[in-house]
């Protein structure tokens, strides 16, 4: 090999060695691909995250509170009570007692005489000797002044209207031997029976009987309300005027035989009292419509009026003295 070729080979080898000795260039770092962000679990900071509301226990449904307006269920219960009562009262001939019969009973049985008129009425008109005066509006606040629930009681007022209401009130509270003086104190005087004028017997307090609390409260509110409207009796002349304008519904609660025998006020609808609760479809559907109820002497009229009031009828009156008072005022009757 020539000297020139040998030198050229050495130069070539030197270049190769130099190239191998150069450091490997550092690759430029490539930023890593950003991983998907996962929402971190909240960590309390200086301002605490609002804690979740605790799970509330189910709220109990409150029991319904009775109001002045009876519930439908309560009305159904009252319907059943009154229907049963009117059926039983019919079997007892409505528990009225005539003045002469009361005078005879007083000679032997000595019933408790309960005069439910106002005190001034006794002072002005007299009273039956031995009677105890408890005005009707206060009756249920004075049950401790009455005898036991199975003892004989006769309730009386001026014409029999309040007496009937008082009698029904005591019956519905469980008193089993209560009658009302038919025609009231006025009928007693008209029969020429003795009248006392000095002082009635002061009631003596004892122990009040056990009675149904709900019925007691219902009836006490009823008596208070009735006192405010003067017991919803209507005299024959006032009824005549009302018929010329307001046109009240006339409800005759006598039997068909009585109506056929004694006649009736024209336009009346006959519903015997013992069937009243079962015959409400014969009355106005509107319970605020005016109704006047009547019978033979006013006794059944007062009972029927009270029954309708307790069933939610708000505009019911009873003809004081019944059909005879209508006739006594020279007002017309018709035959059915």
Q: Are 169 and 223 in contact (CB under 8 A)?
A: yes
Residues of the chain with CATH 3.40.250.10: 90-228, 232-336
Residue 74's pLDDT is: 56
Average pLDDT, integer, range 15-36: 41
| 240 Cβ contact list (under 8 Å, min separation 6) | 329, 331
pLDDT at residue 18 greater than cutoff 70: no
pLDDT at residue 296 greater than cutoff 60: yes
Cβ-based burial of 297 (10 A; exposed 0-12, middle 13-18, buried ≥19): buried
pLDDT at residue 280 greater than cutoff 80: yes
pLDDT classification of 9: cutoffs 50, 70, 90:
very low
Residue 72's pLDDT is: 52
CATH number of 90-228: 3.40.250.10
Average pLDDT, integer, range 32-48: 39
Q: Output the CA angle 79-81-86, nearest 5 degrees.
A: 90
**What is the tens place of the pLDDT at every residue in 95-129?**
999 999 999 999 998 999 999 999 999 999 999 99
Separation of alpha carbons 320 and 250, rounded Å: 14
Separation of alpha carbons 242 and 259, rounded Å: 22
Residue 203's pLDDT is: 86
Separation of alpha carbons 312 and 68, rounded Å: 11
Residue 54's pLDDT is: 43
Three-state DSSP at 115 gives: strand
pLDDT at residue 59 greater than cutoff 80: no
**What is the tens place of the pLDDT at every residue in 200-240?**
888 888 899 999 999 999 999 999 999 999 999 999 999 99
Average pLDDT, integer, range 307-322: 98
Three-state DSSP at 317 gives: strand
Residue 75's pLDDT is: 57
Entry pTM: 0.78
CATH 3.40.250.10 for domain 232-336: yes
**Following DSSP, what letter does each residue of 140-207 receive, concatenated?**
GG-GGGS--TTS-EEEE-SSSHHHHHHHHHHHHTT--SEEEETTHHHHHHHTT---B-S-PBPP---P
Average pLDDT, integer, range 124-152: 97
Residue 199's pLDDT is: 82
**What is the tens place of the pLDDT at every residue in 70-103?**
445 455 599 999 999 999 999 999 999 999 999 9
């Amino acid at each position: 090999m020539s000297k020139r070729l040998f030198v050229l080979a050495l130069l070539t080898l030197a270049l190769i060695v130099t190239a191998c000795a150069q450091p490997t260039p550092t690759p430029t770092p490539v930023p890593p691909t950003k991983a998907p962000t996962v929402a971190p679990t909240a960590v309390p900071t200086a301002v605490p995250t609002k804690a979740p509301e605790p799970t509330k226990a189910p709220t109990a449904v409150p029991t319904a509170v009775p109001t002045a307006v009876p519930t439908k269920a309560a009305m159904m219960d009252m319907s059943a009570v009154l229907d049963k009562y009117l059926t039983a009262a019919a079997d007892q001939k409505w528990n009225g007692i005539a003045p002469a019969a009361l005078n005879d009973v007083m000679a032997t049985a000595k019933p408790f005489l309960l005069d439910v008129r106002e005190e001034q009425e006794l002072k002005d008109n007299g009273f039956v000797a031995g009677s105890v005066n408890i005005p009707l509006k206060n009756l249920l606040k004075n049950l401790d002044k009455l005898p036991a629930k199975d003892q004989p009681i006769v309730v009386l007022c001026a014409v029999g209207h309040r007496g009937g209401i008082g009698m029904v009130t005591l019956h519905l509270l469980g008193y089993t031997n209560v009658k009302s003086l038919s025609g009231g104190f006025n009928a007693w005087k008209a029969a020429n029976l003795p009248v006392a004028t000095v002082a009635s017997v002061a009631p003596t307090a004892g122990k009040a009987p056990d009675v149904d609390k709900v019925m007691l409260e219902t009836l006490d509110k009823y008596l208070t309300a009735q006192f405010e409207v003067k017991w919803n009796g209507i005299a024959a002349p006032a009824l005549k005027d009302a018929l010329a304008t307001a046109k009240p519904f006339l409800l005759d609660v006598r039997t068909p035989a009585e109506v056929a025998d004694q006649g009736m006020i024209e336009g009346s609808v006959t519903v015997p009292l013992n069937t009243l609760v079962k015959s409400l479809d014969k009355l106005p559907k509107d319970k605020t419509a005016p109704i006047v109820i009547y019978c033979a002497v006013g006794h059944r009229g007062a009972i029927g009026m009270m029954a309708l009031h307790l069933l939610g009828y708000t505009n019911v009156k009873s003809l004081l003295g019944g059909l005879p008072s209508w006739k006594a005022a020279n007002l017309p009757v018709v035959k059915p």
